[in-house]
Amino acid sequence: MSGRYGEITAAGVVVPAHDEEALLPACLAALRRTASALRVPVHVLVVADRCGDRTAAVARAERAPVISIQARNVGAARAAGMTELLRLTSGSDPSRVWLATTDADTVVSPGWLRRQLEYADAGWDVVLGTVTVTDWDGHPPHVPVVFEHRYASGSAPHPHVHGANLGIRASAYLAAGGFRPLPTAEDHALLAAATQAGCSVVQAGDITVETSGRQVARAPRGFSNLLRTLADRRGYGEATPPPAAMRPDPAR
C-alpha cells in the first residue's frame, strides 16, 4: 500500500571511506546484491575521504563511482555523497527519491534496501536500522555479552542511530538541512533536524547490518570507541538516543 507520497522511483547509497581498501569490496558486493533486488534505479557512490591507500582504485575496480574529498570528516563525506546523489536524481520528485547510507566496513543484507523502501512507500521519511558485530577478535571475552545486554531493547522500539544503517527520503533530507560536517554523531544531528522539521521516523528492528568490531576508529567517539569503552568497563552508554518513532500521518 502506497503512503502519502507515492512509491519511491529512485534510490542511492553513500559509502564514506577513509583508507578502506581491505573491507570495501565486501561492502560493495553486498550493495550490488541489495540493489539488484529493486525495480528502481539505484546509485551506489563511494566518497573517498583523504585516503592514503587504494580505496578509490578498489571502488572503481568494483564498478562503483567515486568522488574524492580531503575533509577527513565523516559528516562532510556523507554530505558530499548525498549532494552528488541529489544531483544524479535531480529529474525526480525529491519526495520519491530514497537516500541511504552505510559504512565501508559494513555488509548489508540482500533485502536491506527493499525493506527500507517498503517503509518509505508506507509513508515513513526516516528509517533507522540496527547493527550486529561480525568479528570480536581482539576484544576481551566479556565484550560481546555486555554489548548484547546494553544494545537489546526487548519489545520496545530500539533507540539506536547508526550512519551504517540509515535511510531518508530526499525531501526530508533537504528539509533537515542535510548532514552537518561533524567528525562524529552526524547521524544523530541529522535525525534531530529531521524530527524538528516534522519528518516521520521509524526505528526498524527488522533491518540489521553486519559491521566490523575493529578497534581502530575512523571517527572519534564513534562505534569503535563504544566497543573500546565496553572493553575497558567504563560504561555501557553511547550517544543520546533518538526520539521515539513518530507515525506518519497520511493526511499531512
Rounded distance, CA 154 to CA 203, Å?
13
Instruction: Report long-range pairs for 49-52 (Cβ below 8 Å, ≥24 apart).
Output: 49/16, 49/17, 49/18, 49/73, 49/74, 49/76, 49/77, 50/18, 51/17, 51/18, 51/19, 51/20, 52/19
How many Å separate Cα 137 from the centre of its chain? 24
Q: Is 165 exposed, middle or buried (0-12, 13-18, 19+ CB in 10 A)?
A: buried
Rounded distance, CA 61 to CA 135, Å?
26
pLDDT band for 223, please (50, 70, 90 cuts).
low
pLDDT of residue 227 exceeding 50? yes
Judge whether 125 and 168 are in contact, CB under 8 Å: yes
| Residue 105 backbone dihedrals phi, psi, to 5 degrees | -100, 20
SS3 231: helix
Each residue's pLDDT tens digit, 127-182: 999 999 888 777 777 777 777 877 887 888 999 999 999 999 999 999 999 999 99
pLDDT band for 231, please (50, 70, 90 cuts).
low
Domains in the chain with CATH codes: 10-231 (3.90.550.10)
Provide the pLDDT for residue 238.
39
pLDDT of residue 242 exceeding 50? no
Nearest to residue 236, comparing CAs of 163, 160, 146?
146
Residues 6+ apart with CB under 8 A from 17: 24, 46, 47, 48, 49, 51, 55, 59, 77, 104
